[in-house]
Structure 1
Amino acid sequence: MFARLSGLAAALTLAVPAWAQTEMPFALDWKFEGPSAAYFAAIDNGHFEAEGLSVEVTAGQGSLDAIPKVATGAFPVGFADINSLMRFLDQNPGAPVTAVMMVYDKPPFAIVGRKSQGITDVASLNGSTLGAPPPDGAWAQFPIFAAANDLDVDSITVEPVGFPTREPMLAEGEVDSVTGFSFSSYLNLVRLGVPEDDIVTILMADHGVDLYGNAIIVNTDFAAANPDAVKGFLRAVAKGWADVIADPAMGAQAVIDRNPAGDVDLEQRRLQLAIDANVATPFAMENGMGGIDDARMAAAIEQTKLVYEFQNEPDASLYFDPQYLPDAADRMLK
């Protein structure tokens, strides 16, 4: 993939000086929903502007979407699953992209099913039908989840589905469960009229999956040339998250201002779910958001080895670079 896009990268290299000083377009992983509120708050509340940055947020099409965009230089910064980044870098050695700020300290990878379809716990997935979009970050981690829980994967029928049809198929009973992010699939089902007491959310992180989740990623060539801009971007992002943690209603409204077709109450719930389960973890609240624990990262790599054969020796320093993180005081969430 990276090789095919190298021509675009070369062309964009010539354009870097034109926008490197102040403009930092940001590639999201997904649509404008509750968890994207922090980035809009950082715009609306002047945090990016205070850092001398002009930031435009662009929606994505899945957890893998931002990685090649940032690797080619089409975007200097993005938001992506760090586990997918590991595999991308293994398959594209030397690609100029790395993670610089952990956001989902506890990943939202989940299996979301319906009791009426027989899904009540992990064991009930055996013999069921699972809907999974091939580019989905949660689906990418399913083999680790399955191995950690001794699932009989041969008994599970996997139905490839598209992102737009994932929850509707579950709502219609065409599949028994789906892979997805906990806060997205759950509330999408609610919006489709599925009773909340019929929905079961199995968070992989609660069942043996020790991975990290989505992080801010950066083009390393851009970062090397613009270290202060990258550090300022991360400082503004942390302030944006602190803002929406303090006032989720404000954050939800910031999302609806960009996505008028959305439901402000639903997006506030989605944002709160992400805050409570994925962002404001005990580690992040104590140490400030953005950093990682080296021992946990090493364990995550070892766990990934159980289901993915690295072509090159994995190296945590390739996947996460903490040098651009602002001081901890500037990353506190309260």
Structure 2
Amino acid sequence: MTMLKRVIFASVASLAVAGPGLAQTDMPFALDWQFEGPAAPYFMAIENGHFAAEGLDVEITAGQGSLDAIPKVATGAYPVGFADTASLVKFLDQNPDAPVTGVMMFYDKPAFSIVGRKSLGIEAPKDLEGRVLGAPPPDGAWAQFPVFAEANDIDVSQVTVEPVGFPTREPMLAEGQVAAVTGFSFTSFLNTTRLGVPEDDMTVLLMADYGLDLYGNVIIANTDFARENPEQLTGFLRAIAKGLQDTVNDPEAGVDAMVSRNPAMDKDLEVRRLELALRDNIMTDWVRENGLGGIDEARFANSLEQIAVTYDFVNEPDASRYFDGSYLPDDGSLMVQ
């Protein structure tokens, strides 16, 4: 049974945007996390009428973590969502019949990082040897540490790992109780500098730049919904691409589009967080050359091998089950610059 609901436009303004006689499709979108800077492209797609131009009424809901949106979309509670690719792969391995798949890669590089301080001796991966690394046990970046360590020839027996909580991770780094932490690049970096650590004392080792081939967060879709509503899904992805272009052109406007929905937002902080995410995770050299949303098949295959370093697959990995690029628009809108 489809989640799709059609309603007739009730105002002349709405008709003018979406076209005469066109029914509007409700398309709720489940995020992985709160309304922060990196979510700006979705709100720009609302603010600048890109969803409306596709005949879509999109309501965005905040999430509670990288796994949060996957069951919401798999059960049909939401037709589309935003989730970590590695988490999606593991979910589908354990639930092979779940009607959910990735349809647009959004974080070409994941934000998984080692964030440390130069004054505490951290400038390169091997510098972790002989020092204390703070790592929250449930942290996504910590989960990738074995792959990162192997790729960079780190003797893990020489690294003292201190389990820390998320609320104490950056304060411990700022106080020098640990030399580095695992975390999202833009989160741990900004949280630590806000505690008074100078930016020029910070080292951010983005794991994707040091041997990690994993992809980051991906737009996911309920496959039943996608099969029944291919044009709406493609229109949704096209609107997101246009929202991203608007955000790249004017990051401050992107954050402004969220302020009314999160009045407690620190605008300057979120603009900086957005700029870091655009630079390091979204608008990579590969995306600028090849366009938003697709994947490199060889890299994706290697990323599955890297996931297998820390995860025992129940079923034989099948890349086609985790990502379907057939709904991506082919009209040039993905060539974001």
The question of whether the paired residues in 2 share the 8 Å contact of 1:287 and 1:328 is answered with: no
Change (3 A) 1:166 1:57: farther
Q: Which residue of 2 aligns with 1:10?
A: none
Select 2:198's aligned residue among 181, 188, 195. Answer: 195
Select 1:57's aligned residue among 60, 64, 72. Answer: 60
TM-score calculated relative to the size of structure 1: 0.89
Q: Which residue of 2 aligns with 1:136?
A: 139
The question of whether the paired residues in 1 share the 8 Å contact of 2:5 and 2:25 is answered with: no
Find out whether 1:169 has 2:156 as its counterpart: no
Change (3 A) 1:163 1:97: farther
Amino acid at match of 1:125: L
Per-residue deviation at 1:108? Answer: 1.8
Per-residue deviation at 1:314? Answer: 0.4
Q: Which residue of 1 aligns with 2:334?
A: 331
Per-residue deviation at 1:49? Answer: 1.1
The question of whether the paired residues in 2 share the 8 Å contact of 1:288 and 1:328 is answered with: no
Aligned residues: 321
What RMSD in Å do the two structures reach over aligned CA positions?
2.1
Amino acid at match of 1:58: T
Cα offsets for 1:224-261 (capped at 9, x unmatched):
22222211110111000000001112112223332232
Change (3 A) 1:260 1:274: same
Question: 2:141 & 2:6 partners in 1: Cα distance?
Answer: 34
Per-residue deviation at 1:188? Answer: 1.8
Per-residue deviation at 1:64? Answer: 2.3
Per-residue deviation at 1:328? Answer: 4.9
Amino acid at match of 2:27: M
Find out whether 1:30 has 2:17 as its counterpart: no
Q: 5 Å matches for 1:189-228?
A: 189-228=192-231
Question: 1:220 & 1:157 partners in 2: Cα distance?
Answer: 44
Q: Which residue of 2 aligns with 1:179?
A: 182
Find out whether 1:46 has 2:40 as its counterpart: no
Amino acid at match of 1:144: V
Q: Which residue of 2 aligns with 1:8?
A: none
Question: 2:183 & 2:6 partners in 1: Cα distance?
Answer: 35
Question: 1:156 & 1:328 partners in 2: Cα distance?
Answer: 50
Instruction: Specify the SS of the correspondent of 1:38.
Output: helix
Amino acid at match of 1:331: L
Gaps of 5+ in 1: 1-12
Q: Which residue of 1 aligns with 2:283?
A: 280
Find out whether 1:94 has 2:81 as its counterpart: no
Change (3 A) 1:88 1:251: same
The question of whether the paired residues in 2 share the 8 Å contact of 1:51 and 1:236 is answered with: yes
Find out whether 1:319 has 2:322 as its counterpart: yes
Find out whether 1:123 has 2:126 as its counterpart: yes
Per-residue deviation at 1:44? Answer: 0.6
Q: 5 Å matches for 1:64-79?
A: 64-79=67-82
Instruction: Specify the SS of the correspondent of 1:106.
Output: coil
Question: 2:71 & 2:125 partners in 1: Cα distance?
Answer: 33
Question: 1:59 & 1:165 partners in 2: Cα distance?
Answer: 23
Per-residue deviation at 1:203? Answer: 0.7
Question: 1:135 & 1:153 partners in 2: Cα distance?
Answer: 19
Question: 1:174 & 1:256 partners in 2: Cα distance?
Answer: 35
Select 2:239's aligned residue among 227, 236, 239. Answer: 236
Per-residue deviation at 1:18? Answer: 4.0
The question of whether the paired residues in 2 share the 8 Å contact of 1:62 and 1:137 is answered with: no
Q: Which residue of 1 aligns with 2:13?
A: none
Give aligned-pair identity as a percent.
66
Change (3 A) 1:19 1:291: same
Amino acid at match of 2:114: I
Question: 2:157 & 2:333 partners in 1: Cα distance?
Answer: 48
Question: 2:317 & 2:196 partners in 1: Cα distance?
Answer: 44
